[in-house]
């Protein structure tokens, strides 16, 4: 399997592709690729199968051998609004969520978030978050890099509910009621779905009420209590299965 890189569309010519200096260094110095070795460059949803022809200078150059649409993107656009957790848990959500098929991530400062980030620290973290997402997208052979948005307050996150065809709030107090399945029955390819997840300790009743007032639906994920870094991934997997991704059948 050839190495997989994302490139800006302006780096793609009629017959050649130029990798960025960073990706060129990774391909040539870290992976020790030599002229003639294959790699794939992805731009605008198109996968360009290339042969490395030059490694001199700051940019590696590849000859385009073939091109075809990338078919690994999920049929629905899922955004995870993740309550800011402790430690490296957010990076786990970013990495594994990208692998599964999340299209965008929005970290959210919630009432029960232990971690507090000032604007400067949040900006620095976002650079790191986007790097984690990019690397995971390359590993998973995605057709696009998910967006890692700046840190939102809960009020800012809830105001975005109308952007989506379906917004779900994962709440453990909804266990035992009609839950995720009933809402997934109406999801079709092309839909935009938002999944709101609380931090450790979950969301407060006031936060859930705000989301519901904005048009979101509280749902449970069964009788077991999931960790914050697990809940979003479980919901995303269920959504993608329901629309025919991950080996599922549409309407299942």
Cα–Cα distance for residue pair 223/200, rounded to 1 Å: 18
Check residue 177 and give its pLDDT: 58
Which DSSP letter does residue 78 get? Answer: E
Q: What is the Cα–Cα distance from 103 to 92, expressed in whole angstroms? A: 15
Q: Write out the two tokens for 194.
A: 């938002």
pLDDT at 26: 86
Q: Which CATH class is domain 3-69?
A: mainly beta
The two three-digit tokens of residue 122, written as one number: 């949040």
8 Å CB contact between 248 and 240: yes
Q: Are strands 38-43 and 46-54 parallel, antiparallel or unpaired?
A: antiparallel
DSSP annotation of 20 reads: -
Query: Would you identify the CATH topology of the domain 77-242?
Result: Alpha/beta knot (3.40.1280)
Residue with tokens 């970290």: 107
Give the C-alpha separation, 106 to 88, whole Å: 16
Domain ranges of the chain: 3-69, 77-242
User: What Cα–Cα distance (Å) separates residue 130 from each residue in 3, 28, 107, 150, 222?
Assistant: 20, 23, 12, 10, 32
Q: Is 66 exposed, middle or buried (0-12, 13-18, 19+ CB in 10 A)?
A: exposed
Global pTM value: 0.89
Plot region of 202 (φ>0 → left; ψ -120 to 50 → alpha; else → beta): left
- Residue given tokens 């073939």 in the structure block: 66
Low-confidence ranges of the chain (pLDDT < 50): 252
């Amino acid at each position: 399997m050839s190495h997989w890189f994302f490139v800006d569309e302006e780096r793609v010519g009629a017959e050649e592709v130029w990798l960025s200096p960073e990706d060129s260094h990774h391909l040539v110095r870290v992976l020790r690729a030599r002229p003639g070795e294959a790699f794939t460059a992805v731009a605008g949803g198109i996968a360009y199968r290339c042969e490395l022809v030059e490694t001199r200078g700051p940019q590696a150059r590849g000859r385009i051998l073939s091109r075809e649409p990338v078919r690994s993107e999920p049929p629905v656009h899922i955004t995870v609004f993740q309550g800011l957790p402790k430690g490296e848990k957010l990076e786990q959500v970013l990495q594994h969520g990208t692998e599964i098929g999340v299209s965008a991530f929005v970290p959210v400062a919630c009432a029960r978030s232990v971690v507090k980030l000032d604007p400067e620290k949040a900006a620095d973290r976002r650079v790191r978050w986007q790097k984690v997402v990019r690397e995971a997208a390359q590993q998973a052979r995605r057709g696009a890099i998910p967006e890692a948005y700046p840190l939102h307050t809960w009020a800012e996150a809830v105001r975005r509910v109308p952007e989506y065809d379906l917004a779900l709030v994962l709440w453990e107090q909804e266990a035992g009621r009609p839950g995720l399945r009933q809402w997934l029955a109406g999801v079709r390819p092309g839909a935009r779905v938002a999944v709101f997840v609380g931090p450790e300790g979950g969301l407060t009743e006031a936060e859930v009420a705000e989301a519901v007032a904005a048009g979101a639906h509280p749902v449970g994920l069964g009788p077991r209590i999931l960790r914050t870094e697990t809940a979003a991934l479980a919901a995303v997997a269920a959504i993608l299965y329901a629309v025919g991704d991950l080996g599922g059948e549409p309407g299942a």
